[in-house]
Amino acid sequence: MPSGRLSVVVTRRLPDVVERRMQELFDVTLREDDKPMSREALVEAVKTADVLVPTLSDQIDGGLIGQAGERLKLIANYGAGVDHIDVHTARQRGILVSNTPGVLTDDTADMTMALILSVTRRIPEGLSMMQKEDWPGWSPTAMLGGRIAGRRLGILGMGRIGQAVARRAAAFGMQVHYHNRNRLRSEIEDDLCATYWESLDQMVARMDVLSVNCPHTPSTFHLMNARRLKLMKPDAVLVNTSRGEVVDENALTRMLRAGEIAGAGLDVYENAGAINPRLRELKNVVLLPHMGSATVEGRLEMGEKVLLNIKTFDDGHRPPDQVVP
């Protein structure tokens, strides 16, 4: 017998409290293990559910959406980035898409700063030395990094996260520069003490640190391609907490190996399942397992956003975080 409640399929384990709330509100199918759903299971889900709650580890492409049943009306993504969802095909099929913006801004910006400091101050090298009991003792010339105060930080993508990085970087004494599809209003620029560069090439060529904070879209794929990476100063550092696809990972790896740039801090990869193995060998590279938004608080707030999006839709209104292609 239909329960009258929305049928919701969640593709990954979510924090317990979020799952419990889902069970209270909806007729929900939860995961027993934390492995991504198989394609077959996803097809079954879109054929039978009213709402799908995917994460970035699911490919919600046009082929999958094309197989959706009449019932599927909302894809309520657990996450901010929606580059794994074919939002255009969803729209054509009358399926709404929502996401969880805002609640992972501070955490991701914190991680951006952590990567900048880790690379420039060689924190993982120091940690590894201590863990291996390989520390010969303090020396005036050992483990020297670079000071970030006074350095030029170029932020590529000045949305919520880019702006949160700008505030943090300014507090660290960095000079903030940015490139964005649209220039910010002058009051916001003044507030952030941020200098706008219309030309990305010119900005890239002048920065000491470049932080990638734009979403991955067809127009940002390989925005940092081999040609543009080559414009970076040899003593510059690149950090990416957005999406791997924005940077040509192979070109970056070649340049790091050749010493053509000083270092990189990466939380994201072009293919998380097949990271360029050469990256792992490099001392001047800090690699993290896509944990920019991984805080207890952030994950709960993401869950609250998903719940609110579904609940609002269930009440007959637009989900507050509807993604418009």
Interacting residues toward ligand DGY by CB under 6 A: 56, 79-81, 104, 290, 292-293
- Closer CB to ligand DGY, 104 or 236, in the complex: 104
- Which long-range contacts (C-beta less than 8 Å, at least 24 apart) are formed by 282-291? 282/253, 282/256, 282/257, 283/125, 284/119, 284/256, 285/119, 285/256, 286/115, 286/118, 286/119, 286/123, 286/124, 288/111, 288/115, 291/111, 291/267
| Beta carbon nearer to ligand DGY, 80 or 209 | 80
Whole-number minimum distance, CB 157 to ligand DGY, in Å?
13
Kindly tell me the burial class for residue 57, based on how many C-beta atoms sit within 10 Å of its own C-beta (0-12, 13-18, 19 or more).
Answer: middle
Choose between 189 and 304: whose C-beta lies nearer to ligand DGY: 304
> H-type helices in the chain, by residue range?
16-25, 39-48, 62-66, 87-92, 105-120, 123-131, 160-171, 186-192, 200-206, 226-229, 249-257, 277-280, 296-314
Residue 268 Cβ vs ligand DGY, minimum distance, rounded to whole Å:
7
Nearer to ligand DGY, 257 or 290 (CB): 290
- Separation of alpha carbons 303 and 103, rounded Å: 10
Sign of the Cα pseudo-torsion (299, 104, 268, 234, in order): negative
Min. distance of Cβ 223 from ligand DGY in angstroms?
A: 17
- Count CA within 13 A, CB hemisphere, residue 117: 12
Residue 77 CB partners (closer than 8 Å, separation 6+)? 53, 54, 55, 85, 97, 98, 99, 100, 306, 323
The minimum distance between CB 199 and ligand DGY, in angstroms, equals 28
Q: Which is nearer to ligand DGY, 177 or 244 (CB)?
A: 244
Write down the least CB distance from residue 228 to ligand DGY, Å: 23
* Least spacing, CB of residue 118 vs ligand DGY, in Å: 18
**Cα-based distances in Å from 212 to 116, 124, 220, 306, 307:** 12, 21, 11, 26, 30
**Cβ distance to ligand DGY smaller for residue 208 or 249:** 249
Work out how close the CB of 243 gets to ligand DGY at its nearest, in angstroms, rounded to a whole number: 7
Closer CB to ligand DGY, 58 or 208, in the complex:
58
Tell me the C-alpha distance between 312 and 4, whole Å. 16
Smallest distance, ligand DGY to C-beta of residue 293, A: 4
C-beta closer to ligand DGY: residue 203 or 298? 298
